[in-house]
A = this chain, B = another copy of it.
């Protein structure tokens, strides 16, 4: 029985999930086993065991095995040959596929062997797909963002950090907590754009408002923060009230493209993935007219080493309209406008962040079950675990790009100011040498 699922998963009733398990009694034929081997081959022969609904390993990897995948009926196998990414995700959500073992480790190894196929092999495999045009017009973006970020603040509260920062954290030490790492990320961003008291900042895509409030509270700046997620903006405004920062931070329920005025800094953390490569030139224009002559911009985004379509299941069920661009594609934002000053790739920080989110999600699974159904929960675990695996296997990157108007010579001499004295927790803005002689 199909129902209106918040993620759009085709079947969402528990009855459908139970039905899927009925094949378990059915005999496994030679054709089924052949299909399985074809599927595993198309995936690059990953180092895991694979079984059909008879629960007998029909595929055994050479060398070490990092887990096991079980296919509960034949139509799943056929679906995987046709539209592998979408079919895998939906089938897993519905319980037609199960993973045994640590899901992050298992998926990491699968992505790893797919990467080893090389660029041509990867593109021909079930993982590769050509980029398709997104529909991130002002209206389209609003629908896309609503699909994900308006799922409910109570839901997100259960597994994000206490400040509700839904982007890659930054771990200055491997043993930092998620809370410490999110604060460190916000400080890192603020230092990169060299915030000083009294300056003004425009933030494009402000989430639940943590970064905007952090900038105002810790660095003494005024912020105008844009977001088209109604739920997030409402939450952010309440926080500004509670923290007494309404005179410093203005949360605007609008698309970043409608920003006006000029600012000392432009900041966009975890928003570019929702823009789409065909809108990068437009974004570049918006930033160009919004940044003061010696202003500094920062874009923090998931990215790729080379252009490749986003995972089809992720794009349909979790983040519609999303596209993680290659560094080359990102240059469309900056060329003929800005100089790129600094690019940092913190890919593995996102892996650690996602593993922490997944862990908190698991620990609160019972509570989440009162909000959403089993397919939702399975889908979310696949999303968090699969993304962690993507970062660990090097399939996804995380770029922080710092830039400024090409003619601006009021730039820091070095990046030393990003790294305050070792051994202290000093987060006050550090002074920066600049090029007096060229300014």
Please report A residues at the B interface, Cβ cutoff 8 Å. Answer: 112, 115-116, 118-119, 170-174, 305-306, 326-328, 331, 334-336, 338-345, 347-349, 351-352, 392-394, 397, 406-409, 411, 413-416, 418-419, 421-422, 433, 435-438
A421 to B415 Cα, complex, angstroms: 13
A-B contact pairs, 23 of them (CB 8 A): A115-B406, A118-B336, A170-B414, A172-B414, A173-B413, A173-B433, A174-B433, A174-B436, A305-B334, A305-B335, A305-B340, A326-B335, A327-B340, A328-B331, A331-B331, A340-B397, A348-B409, A349-B413, A392-B409, A393-B407, A414-B419, A415-B419, A419-B419
Q: Closest chain B residue to A439 by CB distance?
A: B348
Contact B409 A171 (CB under 8 A): no
Residues of chain B within 8 A (CB-CB) of A339 are 305, 345, 347, 394, 397
**CA–CA, A116 and B411, complex, Å:** 19
Q: What's the minimum C-beta distance from A211 to chain B, rounded to whole angstroms?
A: 19
With contacts A331-B328, A392-B409 known, is A344 near B174, CB below 8 A?
no
CB closest residue in chain B, given A174:
B433
* Chain B residues whose C-beta falls within 8 Å of the C-beta of A348 in the assembled complex: 409, 411, 413, 435, 438
B112 touches A406 (CB 8 A): no
| Contact partners of A406 in chain B: CB under 8 A | 115, 305, 394
A66 to chain B, nearest CB (A): 14
Beyond the given A115-B406, A342-B345, could you list 9 further A-B residue pairs with CB under 8 A, ordered by the A residue number?
A116-B407, A172-B416, A305-B336, A306-B335, A340-B345, A348-B409, A392-B409, A394-B409, A415-B419
B331 and A326 contact, CB distance less than 8 A: yes
Asked if A415 contacts B344 (CB within 8 A), the reply is yes
A340 in contact with B343 given A326-B335, A394-B406, A438-B351 (CB within 8 Å):
yes
Q: Which of chain B's residues have a CB closer than 8 A to the CB of A336? A: 118-119, 305-306
Q: Is the CB of A112 within 8 A of B407?
A: yes
Nearest to A307 among chain B residues (CB) is: B335
Complex Cα–Cα for A419 and B345 (A): 18
